[in-house]
Amino acid sequence: QVQLQESGPGLVKPSQTLSLTCTVSGGSITTNYYSWSWIRQPPGKGREWIGNILYSGNTYYSPSLKSRTSISRDTSKNHFTLQVSSVTPEDTAVYYCGRAETILTGPDYWGQGTQVTVSS
């Protein structure tokens, strides 16, 4: 029922900012007590949690990425966004957005993922 769709540029140059949008349909990003997540999977590696934005608007970030990461939302458009600054080729990955019932649980809905390549 809930659908998520990632969108944004598939190619980003080193040192630039990676920006993605997750558009949500079939559910409100402000509904208690949902947690909306960004996750990525680099080539040949496992999935890595980037951060969450809660129904309340509070955000949480992976310690390894928090200095470069910002998650925000536009409730009028029912979408949330990811920005990763100062990217390097190590940020190349398939990026997913997801929804969890709470911040304590894993996502139960996922977007299809979008490939982002950092290259000059």
Taking 90 as the threshold, does the pLDDT of residue 117 lie above it?
Answer: yes
Distances 25 to 28, 31, 77, 78, 110 between C-alpha atoms, Å: 7, 13, 10, 8, 12
- 93-111 per-position pLDDT tens digit: 999 999 999 888 899 999 9
**Look-up: residue for tokens 């997801």?**
98
pLDDT tens sequence across 26-73: 999 999 999 999 999 999 999 999 999 999 999 999 999 999 999 999
Contact (CB, 8 A) for 50 and 40: yes
**Residue 103 pLDDT:** 86
Predicted local distance difference test score (pLDDT) of residue 38: 98
Predicted pLDDT of residue 74: 97
Rounded Cα distance between 9 and 81, Å, is 13
CA gap 108, 76 in Å, rounded: 23
CA-CA distance, 94 to 114, in Å (whole number)?
5
Confidence of residue 22 (pLDDT cuts 50, 70, 90): very high
10 pLDDT band (50/70/90 cuts)? very high
